[in-house]
């Protein structure tokens, strides 16, 4: 598994809830002195040990909140950060008593201009706009100056064609500025939209706490959203929620790991891996624009040529299998899964999580991989290898949130010009009360609609079962390839026999009638390519099979890069129009 997957491992709850989101909280935040008290375990620890460990408790891994300058030192290359917009002055639109004095006092104590610091820096040599919110300054609340700084930062990033990395830490809107503070939510969001429309990358990293109006605006609008372990993230505070509903909140409620599980953010990143992760994501999105320029044939040379040294896997000398035998092979637990193919075909894979609305569906995996120097988006249905895994993966049967996660990643790929590769392996979409309540039919229909118009090259590879609309929901692409022993069907042979013949036991007979094998579907022009298996695919012969797929993908990308975005979409339409 790629390193980023490890970075996203779950960690226990680290911090207590806030007492008041608009007031400063007394807590350890890397103060001076030899000793510190851990915010999680309460143990007294040696300050230098904490500092060397990234301000993480060496005893329990509890996270200390850190200040702006420390954060910048952790991420920016030494001496490269240039601060912007320090001339903005805080106003007092409500004429709130003592507000100006409070701001002046905080500026003196923290040596900060305001609750957010923005500027430009280098991260391992890559230029980016960097913003850091600081909870020591009125709990990082967003008033006019904070909103204006963030808005100007995105505007300047758009002008200079730069990505934005923004560390959030806030209690939300600033009460002392009233409705003016509320308007900053709309203003910052509008600036992010313009930055996004310019095809530029935005990475918010949510730290403890990120709540209120900040969560409901710039914190949740990233292309990729990460968080530090245990960070409190939410709109309403947990104490307010508990008092309002009169119920005890579940363990870990509103913590970063909870939000990954619920599909709201992409993952959790450890501090020790923070700079490497930021750099890797910046590099991937820089490369996305570097390699693909649709319609310009000379850019084909940017792809390192991939050629197989072993030759094609052949079928000579093999006896022809029946359709039912291929059905049984396609369902075998010995067949490689999507993740197996991803690890063999691509140079690296950074898994992203969630549909941004309800849950991270384990039946669908997706993220960004590298292929011969070209970033690509990879999505696939994932089965398990044992009972525990299959329960988590729901046997590869995606729920509505799985299809919505897939579509989110496809739209992200379109924005950055990344080709999309999908792997199909499912007996069908999830069937049940919950799936219907959350709109299973609409989710699949939405994928079919949107995939038909996504302006980037797309290819699907059926590696096992391709069952019904559950499979088609990831297969509206420029080309569809099938493993020799995969199947692709309107529904299972058992279901076909039950509906037409009222006898599910005639599944073997039905499989011959349904034309569901790769050979049949190639003849019907439903698919473009059959990927031959020297013997039924398994983990041992996967490297040989993957080498052939790499060669085929290389040819597909070279061909696709010579087409305009409009041509790609029109040819995809015509492909299905002929059927």
How does pLDDT run across 41-70, given as a tens digit for each residue? Answer: 888 988 888 888 888 998 888 899 999 999
Q: Write out the two tokens for 107.
A: 């500026």
C-beta separation of 515 from 524 below 8 A: yes
Annotate 507-537 with DSSP letters as a single string: HHHHHHHTT-BHHHHHHTTS-SEEE--SSS-
To the nearest whole percent, how much of the chain has pLDDT over 90? 80
Q: For 519-547, how does the pLDDT look when each residue is reduced to its tens digit (9 = 90+)?
A: 999 999 999 999 999 899 999 999 999 99
Q: Write out the two tokens for 78.
A: 């030494």
CA dist 72 and 518 (Å) reads 54
CA dist 174 and 151 (Å) reads 17
Confidence at residue 521, expressed as pLDDT on a 0 to 100 scale? 97
Q: Write out the two tokens for 296.
A: 């310009």
C-beta separation of 192 from 225 below 8 A: no
Taking residues 287-302, what's their average pLDDT? Answer: 55
CA dist 573 and 47 (Å) reads 62
Q: For 173-204, how does the pLDDT look when each residue is reduced to its tens digit (9 = 90+)?
A: 999 999 999 999 999 999 999 999 999 999 99
Q: Write out the two tokens for 423.
A: 């792997």
Whole-Å CA distances, 60 to 54, 109, 267:
13, 30, 21
CA dist 579 and 574 (Å) reads 9
Residue 7 has pLDDT above 70, yes or no: no
Q: How confident is the model at residue 308 (pLDDT cuts 50, 70, 90)?
A: very low
Residue 315 has pLDDT above 70, yes or no: no
CA dist 422 and 93 (Å) reads 53
Angle at 245 between CA 249 and CA 433, to 5 degrees: 75
Instruction: Dump strand ranges (E) for 229-353.
Output: 233-234, 267-268, 348-352
Confidence at residue 76, expressed as pLDDT on a 0 to 100 scale? 98
- Which helix (H) or strand (E) covers residue 337, if one does? none
Q: For 343-393, how does the pLDDT look when each residue is reduced to its tens digit (9 = 90+)?
A: 999 998 999 999 999 999 999 999 999 998 899 999 999 999 999 999 999
Residue 8 has pLDDT above 60, yes or no: no
CA dist 411 and 355 (Å) reads 12
CA dist 204 and 207 (Å) reads 10
Q: For 19-41, how does the pLDDT look when each residue is reduced to its tens digit (9 = 90+)?
A: 333 334 444 454 456 888 888 88
Q: For 402-455, how does the pLDDT look when each residue is reduced to its tens digit (9 = 90+)?
A: 999 999 999 999 999 999 999 999 999 999 999 999 999 999 999 999 999 999
Q: For 262-292, how does the pLDDT look when each residue is reduced to its tens digit (9 = 90+)?
A: 999 999 999 999 999 999 999 999 866 555 5
Q: Write out the two tokens for 485.
A: 């022993």
Q: For 222-272, how does the pLDDT look when each residue is reduced to its tens digit (9 = 90+)?
A: 999 999 999 999 999 888 899 899 999 998 999 999 999 999 999 999 999
C-alpha dihedral sign at 1, 265, 188, 403? positive
C-beta separation of 438 from 400 below 8 A: yes
Q: Write out the two tokens for 329.
A: 């092979």
Long-range residue pairs from 300-303, CB within 8 A, at least 24 positions apart, any chain:
300/558, 300/561, 300/562, 302/373, 302/374, 303/372, 303/373, 303/374, 303/554, 303/557, 303/558, 303/561
């Amino acid at each position: 598994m790629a390193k980023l997957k490890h970075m996203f491992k779950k960690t226990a709850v680290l911090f207590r809830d806030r007492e008041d989101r608009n007031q400063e909280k007394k807590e350890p935040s890397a103060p001076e002195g030899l000793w510190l008290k851990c915010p999680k375990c309460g143990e007294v620890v040696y300050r230098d040990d904490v500092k060397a460990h990234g301000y993480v408790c060496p005893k329990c891994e509890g996270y200390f909140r850190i200040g702006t300058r420390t954060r910048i030192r952790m991420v920016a290359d030494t001496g490269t950060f240039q601060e912007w917009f320090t001339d903005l002055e805080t106003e007092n639109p409500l004429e709130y008593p003592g507000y100006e004095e409070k701001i002046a006092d905080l500026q003196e104590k923290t040596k900060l201009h305001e609750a957010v610091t923005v500027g430009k820096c280098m991260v391992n040599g890559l230029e980016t706009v960097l913003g850091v919110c600081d909870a020591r300054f009125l709990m990082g609340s967003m008033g006019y100056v904070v909103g204006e700084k963030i808005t100007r930062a995105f505007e300047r990033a758009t002008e200079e064609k730069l990505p934005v990395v923004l560390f959030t830490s806030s209690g939300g809107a600033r009460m002392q500025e009233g409705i003016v503070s509320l308007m900053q939510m709309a203003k910052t969001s509008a600036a992010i939209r313009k930055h996004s429309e310019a095809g530029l990358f935005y990475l918010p990293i949510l730290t403890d706490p990120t709540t209120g109006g900040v969560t409901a605006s710039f914190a949740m609008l990233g292309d990729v959203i990460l968080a530090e372990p245990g960070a409190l993230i939410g709109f309403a505070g947990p104490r307010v929620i508990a008092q309002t509903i009169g119920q005890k909140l579940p363990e870990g409620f509103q913590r970063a790991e909870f939000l990954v599980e619920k599909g709201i953010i992409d993952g959790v990143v450890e501090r020790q891996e923070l700079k490497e992760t930021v750099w890797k994501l910046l590099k991937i999105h820089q490369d996305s624009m570097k390699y693909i320029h649709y319609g310009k044939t000379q850019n084909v040379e940017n792809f390192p040529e991939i050629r197989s040294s072993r030759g094609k896997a052949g079928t000579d000398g093999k006896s022809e299998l029946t359709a039912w035998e291929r059905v049984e092979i396609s369902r075998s637990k010995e067949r490689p899964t999507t993740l197996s193919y991803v690890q063999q075909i691509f140079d690296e894979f950074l898994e992203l999580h969630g549909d941004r609305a309800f849950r991270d569906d384990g039946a669908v995996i997706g993220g960004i991989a590298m292929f011969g120097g070209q970033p690509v988006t990879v999505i696939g249905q994932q089965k398990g290898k044992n009972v525990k895994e299959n329960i988590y993966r729901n046997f590869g049967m995606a729920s509505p949130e799985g299809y919505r996660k897939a579509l989110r990643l496809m739209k992200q790929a379109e924005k950055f010009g990344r080709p999309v590769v999908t792997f199909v392996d499912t007996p069908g979409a999830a069937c049940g009360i919950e799936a219907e309540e959350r709109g299973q039919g609409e989710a699949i229909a939405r994928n079919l609609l949107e995939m038909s118009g996504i302006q980037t090259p797309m290819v699907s590879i059926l590696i096992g079962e391709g069952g019904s609309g559950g499979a088609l929901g990831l297969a509206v692409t420029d080309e569809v390839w099938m493993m020799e022993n995969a199947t692709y069907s309107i529904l299972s042979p058992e279901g076909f026999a039950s509906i037409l013949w009222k006898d599910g036991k005639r599944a073997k007979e039905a499989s011959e009638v349904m034309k569901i094998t790769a050979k049949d579907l190639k003849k019907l022009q439903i698919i473009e390519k059959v990927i031959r298996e020297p013997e039924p695919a398994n983990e041992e012969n996967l490297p040989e099979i993957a080498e052939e797929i790499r060669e085929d993908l290389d040819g597909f990308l070279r061909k696709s890069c010579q087409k305009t975005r409009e041509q790609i979409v029109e040819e995809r339409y015509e492909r299905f129009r002929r059927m």
